[in-house]
Chain A
Amino acid sequence: MKKIEAIIRPSKLDELKEALGRFNVHGMTVTEVVGCGLQKGKKEIYRGTEYTIDLLNKVKIEIVVKDGWVEDLIKLISETAKTGEIGDGKIFVQAVENAVRIRTGESGEAVL
């Protein structure tokens, strides 16, 4: 099992969710996050005093899938969330040791 963690533009969430649904991925955790990366901050003026907005709003989507799905999903997420401008986000993949469905107690890939 692998966990795919994608940090994307908030405006891309609906589109990506739909695309994942078509791919038969229905379980996910979505978090609103703020962060910085290549996009850096921007300077604004409030009442004549300059300030920096350096943490920008992003959405983090976490999905856990079978190993074999990872490559296709990365491709899907990249294509869907891409605008080509700085600030499109990143995808991280990590190994997952186990998964447990709380309601039934079953574990492993069966719960995905």
Chain B
Amino acid sequence: MTRKRTKVLILSLLVIMGLMAIFTTAAWAGDPTGANSVGINSVTAAKAGAPTLEEVATDLGKTKIGLNFVWVILCGCLIFFFQAGFALVETGFTQAKNAMHTMAMNLMVFLVGTIGFFVAGFAFMFGGVGSVASLGGTAPLNGLLTIGGWNLLGLKGFFLTSGGSYDAGVFALFFFQMVFMDTTVTIPTGSMAERVKFSAVVIASFFIAIVAYPFFGNWVWGGGWLAQLGGKLGLGHGVVDFAGSGVVHAMGGALALAGAIALGPRIGKFKKDGTPVAIPGHDIPIAILGTIILFFGWFVFNAGSTLNGSDLRLAVVATNTMVAGAFGGFTSMIYMWARYGKPDPSMMCNGALAGLVAITAPCAFVTGLSSAIIGVVAGILVCAAVYVIEHKLKIDDPVGAVAVHFVNGSWGLIAVGLFADGTYGEGLNGVAGGVTGLFYGGGLTQLYAQLIAVGVILLWGAGVGYVFYKVLDLTVGLRVSAQDEINGLDIPEMGVKAYPDFVLTASHTLAAAKAGAVAITPAVQMEPKGV
């Protein structure tokens, strides 16, 4: 039987190869190199093959803006994958009994975030950004709330409708910026995981998407008062944050800090004398996968922020991102290894993320060597910050969101004021010349602007955020009951367990069971561990 089948197989392969030989000797009708598909004939013209100068120029403009649109939308799609990264990192670093709750929060924040940003967040942030030339003008976004010459808030683009914002360029900008906003919404879910009420996170996510993120975002990216610091007060180029160390990450980290303080630590996290207790995550491999997904997403998170596919600086941006992330993760690994004896995988994750967060603001303005230094500092900072936050400040942050995003986001902002080398950012925020930091002869002015941004994030993100979470606590309640927290949030909060049949099963025993050799009685449920 088998031999017969083999014969048939060989025969068919011979027939196929014979047919291929016949076809390859036939004359080519196609254009295998593509050489004939480009050229003057591909220019849209009234008279094919003889376009006028105007027709050539029109086609060129279309190609240029088309390239930018493809770049921006494609990057937006890839950055969306950040959500998967965050979901896996947060769920892996927390306990199995809360896995469904943590995972579901990470999906929910995208749904809520998009709605909030669509309704009003985008308008508040970019409603007065003016012309984004690389996206064809975005003319409708021209409404700013201005007091005494300082811009405070955008006013066009509510529901992607108001002020005539039904515009391809505006939609492209929304698509790209939306996935950035959602990063900020998802960061606090990590620091508040395993004890926060799902309903409270829904409300808080609307708050972040409509108020917390877009207001600050407007001040830095939407033409607001922090961006005006350069032109009006001579502080460098005003606050410079290329892809969001401050706007996205430090803001998310500050909200995470506020949320973790407002909630208090998980039951059992600190002993009576204040000593912290380790509560190991239930699936570090999945957290590592999440970290790799985030690392991947970061290349376009930063490089896509050129909003311009023909700005060749995007290569510098992407490469600096790669370098800083690697140096950050490596430094954390060595730091933990030297200090505690093993290269703690969870801190390798945090270290890589810390380097990536830190390079997000300066990635377009610094050299490769500076990126390495920024990454090394981030790798040490994150380890020190995790220790200080847990052992000294007694704040319970299960995934290290504050240490990664707030501490290193702030470091990234400051790094612009130190390492920017003046080769990029000509005319940014209406200030002539490239962005130049302290180490490249720019003096202290840029650094001052960056420090102001860090201060505002503390006040606006952590301060206002804390007040918001406290009000939420007093109204709908922020925290689940102690009983639910101890038993796990999956059933009381979500009604379904992440792992209904999950037991500890070693592979060799499983293999024996599959072969029918042994009976396996599940004895040890994963859940009670670490409570």
- Chain A residues near B (Cβ < 8 Å): 10-11, 13-14, 17, 28-34, 44-51, 57, 59
In the docked arrangement, what's the CA distance between A50 and B336, Å?
A: 13
CB within 8 Å of A: which of B334-378? 336, 339-342, 344, 346-347
Report chain A residues within 8 Å CB of B137. none
A29 pairs with B519, CB closer than 8 A:
yes
Whether B278 contacts A49 by the Cβ 8 Å rule is yes
Inter-subunit contact B277/A47 (CB<8 Å): no
Q: List 9 A-B residue pairs with CB atoms under 8 Å apart, sorted by A's residue number.
A: A13-B506, A14-B508, A28-B519, A33-B523, A34-B524, A47-B346, A49-B390, A50-B278, A59-B506
Partner of B280, one of A11, A32, A51: A51
A57 to chain B, nearest CB (A): 7
Q: Which residues of A contact B383 (CB under 8 A)?
A: 48
- Contact yes or no, B340 A45, CB < 8 A: yes
- Interface pair B512/A17, CB less than 8 Å apart: yes
CA distance A31 to B509 in the complex (A): 9
Whether A49 pairs with B521 at a CB distance below 8 angstroms is: no
Bound together, the chains give a CA A12 to CA B497 distance in angstroms of 33
* Contact A57 B504, CB 8 Å, known A14-B512, A17-B518: yes
Q: Which chain A residues lie closer than 8 Å to B387 at the CB level?
A: 48
Give the interface residue-count category, chain B: 20 to 34
- Known pairs A10-B508, A45-B344, A57-B506; A29 contacts B521 (CB<8 A): yes
Return chain B residues, CB-CB under 8 Å to A34.
504, 524
Interface string of B495-531 (1 = CB under 8 A from A): 0000000011110110010000111111110000000
B276 sits at the interface (CB 8 A) = yes
Tell me which of B340, B341, B400, B520 contacts A32 (CB under 8 A).
B520
Alpha-carbon gap, A35 to B340, bound state (A): 26
Interface class of chain A by DSSP: strand
Q: Which residues of A contact B523 (CB under 8 A)?
A: 31-33
In whole angstroms, what is the CA distance A33 to B524 when docked? 7
* Chain B, residue nearest A49 (CB): B278
Distance (Å) between the CB of A65 and the closest chain B CB?
A: 16
B210 at the interface (CB under 8 A from A): no
CB distance from A35 to the nearest CB of B (A): 10
Q: Determine the chain B residues whose CB is within 8 A of the CB of A28 once the complex forms.
A: 518-519
B386 interfacial by beta-carbon distance below 8 Å: yes
CA distance A46 to B346 in the complex (A): 8
From the candidates A30, A33, A51, name the one contacting B512 in the complex (CB within 8 A).
A30
Per-residue contact bits, chain B 466-510, to A (CB 8 Å; 1 contact, 0 not): 000000000000000000000000000000000000011110110
User: Do B344 and A47 touch (CB < 8 A)?
Assistant: yes
Q: Quick one: which of B347, B504, B519, B521 contacts A47, CB cutoff 8 A?
A: B347
Closest chain A CB from B342 CB (angstroms): 7
**Chain B residues near A48 (CB, 8 Å)?**
336, 339-340, 344, 347, 383, 386-387, 390-391
- Pick the 4 closest A-B CB pairs, nearest first: A51-B278, A49-B278, A46-B278, A45-B340
Q: Mark B129-160, 1 if CB is under 8 A from A, else 0.
A: 00000000000000000000000000000000
Taking CB atoms, residues of chain B closer than 8 Å to A14 are 508, 512
Cα distance, A13 to B517, chains bound together (Å): 11
Given contacts A30-B518, A30-B520, A33-B524, are A10 and B509 in contact (CB under 8 A)? yes
Query: Which B residues touch A11, using CB under 8 A?
Result: 508
B400, A13: Cβ atoms closer than 8 Å: no
Residues of B within 8 A of A17 (CB): 512, 517-518
CB within 8 A of B277: which of A29, A44, A51, A59?
A: A51
> For A30, what are the chain B residues with a Cβ–Cβ distance below 8 Å?
509, 512, 518-521
State A10–B346 Cα separation when bound (angstroms). 27
Give, as a whole number of angstroms, the nearest-CB distance from B399 to chain A.
10
Nearest B residue to A50, CB-CB:
B278
Name the residue in A11, A32, A45 with the highest tally of chain B Cβ atoms < 10 Å from its Cβ.
A32
Give every chain A residue within 8 A of B503 (Cβ-Cβ): 32
Question: Chain A residues with Cβ under 8 A from B400's Cβ?
Answer: 47
Q: A47-B346, A48-B336, A48-B383 are in contact. Are A32 and B518 (CB under 8 A)?
A: no
